[in-house]
């Protein structure tokens, strides 16, 4: 019998008039089935059948693991390194009856490799992007998911606190990034979805700059963007620190970013659109004269991915519902000087925003 998540996806697939939903290795495969795998040259297909039993095409090397996770909930089709995957997949595609059918898959989590395998055996199949269907299930977090996120956040915040004494003149961005990763792993994090980003000085004016071997200097902004992963759920937290006295303009901008962050937190966001939240933060940034320094949206969903729906951006008219979990991260960036971002993790609960992060928003001078 399908679990509740999988049954929901089956129902949505059927209601959309689709014959099958094809899941590949990635976060949705883990979310709906419990299977955890890394993408390699050995393909894996999980076929969600809204009107019958699901099917799995996977290497025989994963046979025992797959059966332990899935039990009797699906039909198994294995291939070996000796046979290769091409012949067995042709038999699998014929057994499922792909040709002429309407198939959904998540374009963002599929490769041309698997797509071409399907089209090679089922040239009359119609393939559509079904990301909106998986998102519909995954966006509303239940109590167990929220608790896992709380634990990921606890690990992240404790790890940030642990490395603050290491941030001093002469230490490098990379040293602090490595220290942060080690702290998170030692506290129970899985391997994180991204390596901790530590950028400093004028380099912090580029929000997605890469951690470097730059040594810290007095007067630097130090921006740390990091997040532990606990049982598949990933926190995403940014805090901006000052190494001694910083440029007065950056200090002023910090207070404006903090104000924008806090303004969003006061909203009764349940029933509002994502666009309204973005506009709330943006109005404060623009109203303070910083329109030229805005480089990104106010937030994005979090869960089994560091970035997922819903996206808190102008123009996104999606209505926010109970259990939606996302970041609130207004920022300002000044070329040649540095950047400011304060990123918190929230969930919609009882119609409002419950802030899951607890790390201070006040500017910490190290």
Tens digits of per-residue pLDDT, 299-325?
999 999 999 999 999 999 999 999 999
More confident residue, 1 or 223: 223
User: What is the spatial distance between Cα 235 and Cα 227, in angstroms, rounded to a whole number?
Assistant: 5
Q: What is the mean pLDDT of the chain?
A: 97
Percent of the chain at pLDDT > 90 equals 98
Long-range contacts of 265-270 (CB under 8 A, 24+ apart): 265/328, 265/344, 265/346, 265/353, 265/355, 267/352, 267/353, 268/351, 268/352, 269/320, 269/348, 269/351, 269/352, 269/353, 270/320, 270/321, 270/322, 270/348, 270/350, 270/351, 270/352
Q: Which two tokens stand for residue 147?
A: 């608790």
**What mean pLDDT do residues 246-261 have?**
97
Q: Which two tokens stand for residue 303?
A: 């869960």
User: In the predicted model, what is the mean pLDDT of residues 33-40?
Assistant: 95
The average pLDDT across 143-152 equals: 98
At 169, is the secondary structure helix, strand, or coil?
coil
In this predicted structure, the answer to whether residue 1 has a pLDDT above a threshold of 80 is no
Could you report the per-residue pLDDT of 272-293, keeping only the tens digit for each?
A: 999 999 999 999 999 999 999 9
Cβ–Cβ < 8 Å for 223, 364: no
Q: Are 318 and 274 contacting, i.e. CB atoms less than 8 angstroms apart? A: yes
Enter the tokens of residue 363: 């500017």
- Cα end-to-end distance, the chain, whole Å: 55
Model-wide pTM > 0.75:
yes
CA 168 to chain centre: 31
Q: Which two tokens stand for residue 305?
A: 């991915």
Cis peptide bond N-terminal to 117, omega within 30 = no
Q: How far is CA 4 from CA 1, 71, 145, in A?
A: 9, 16, 14
> Which residue's entry shows tokens 């067995």?
88
pLDDT beyond 80 at 58:
yes
Residue 193 pLDDT grade (very low, low, confident, very high; cuts 50, 70, 90): confident
- d(CA 158, CA 228) in angstroms, rounded, equals 10
The rounded percent of the chain whose pLDDT value lies above 70 is 99
Pairing of strands 197-200, 220-226: antiparallel
d(CA 195, CA 211): 9
Q: How far from chain centre, in Å, is Cα 293?
A: 25
Distance CA(239)–CA(178), nearest Å, equals 17
Strand partners, 340: 332
pLDDT tier at 2, thresholds 50, 70, 90: low
The pLDDT, as a whole number, for residue 73 is 85
> For position 234, what pLDDT does the model report?
97
pLDDT digits (tens, 9 = 90+) for 102-130: 999 999 999 999 999 999 999 999 999 99
- Domains of the chain (ranges plus CATH)? 4-138 (3.40.350.10), 143-365 (3.90.230.10)
Contacts of 145 (CB under 8 A, 6+ apart): 233, 303, 325
With bands split at pLDDT 50, 70 and 90, how would you rate the model's confidence at 194?
A: confident
């Amino acid at each position: 019998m399908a679990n509740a998540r999988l049954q929901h996806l089956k129902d949505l697939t059927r209601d959309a008039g689709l014959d099958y939903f094809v899941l590949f290795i990635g976060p949705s495969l883990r979310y709906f089935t419990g299977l955890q795998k890394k993408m390699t040259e050995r393909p894996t297909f999980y076929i969600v059948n809204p009107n019958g039993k699901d099917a799995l095409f996977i290497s025989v090397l994963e046979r025992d693991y797959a059966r332990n996770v899935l039990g009797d909930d699906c039909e198994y089709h294995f291939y070996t390194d000796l046979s290769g995957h091409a012949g067995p997949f042709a038999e699998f595609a014929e057994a499922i009856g792909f040709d002429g059918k309407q198939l959904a898959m998540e374009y963002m989590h599929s490769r041309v490799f698997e797509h071409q395998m399907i089209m090679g055996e089922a040239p009359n199949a119609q393939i559509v992007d079904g990301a909106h269907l998986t998102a519909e299930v995954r966006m509303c977090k239940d109590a167990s998911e929220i608790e896992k996120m709380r634990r990921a956040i606890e690990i992240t915040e404790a790890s940030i606190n642990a490395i603050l004494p290491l941030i001093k003149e002469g230490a490098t961005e990379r040293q602090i990034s490595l220290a942060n990763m080690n702290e998170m792993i030692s506290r129970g994090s899985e391997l994180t979805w991204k390596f901790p980003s530590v950028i400093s000085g004028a380099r912090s004016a580029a929000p997605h700059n890469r951690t470097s071997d730059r040594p810290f200097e007095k007067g630097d902004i130090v921006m740390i963007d990091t997040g532990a992963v606990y049982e598949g759920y990933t926190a995403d937290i940014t805090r901006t620190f000052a190494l001694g006295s910083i440029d007065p303009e950056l200090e002023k901008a910090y207070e404006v970013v903090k104000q924008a962050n806090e303004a969003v937190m006061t909203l009764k966001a349940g029933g509002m659109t994502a666009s309204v939240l973005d506009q709330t933060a943006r109005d404060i940034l623009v109203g303070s004269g910083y329109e030229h320094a805005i480089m990104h949206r106010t937030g994005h969903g979090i869960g089994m991915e560091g970035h997922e729906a819903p996206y808190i951006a102008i123009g996104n008219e999606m209505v926010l519902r109970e259990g939606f979990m996302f970041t609130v991260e207004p920022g300002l960036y000044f070329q040649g000087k540095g950047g400011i971002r304060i990123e918190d993790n929230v969930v919609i609960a009882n119609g409002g925003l419950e802030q899951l992060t607890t790390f201070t928003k006040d500017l910490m001078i190290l």
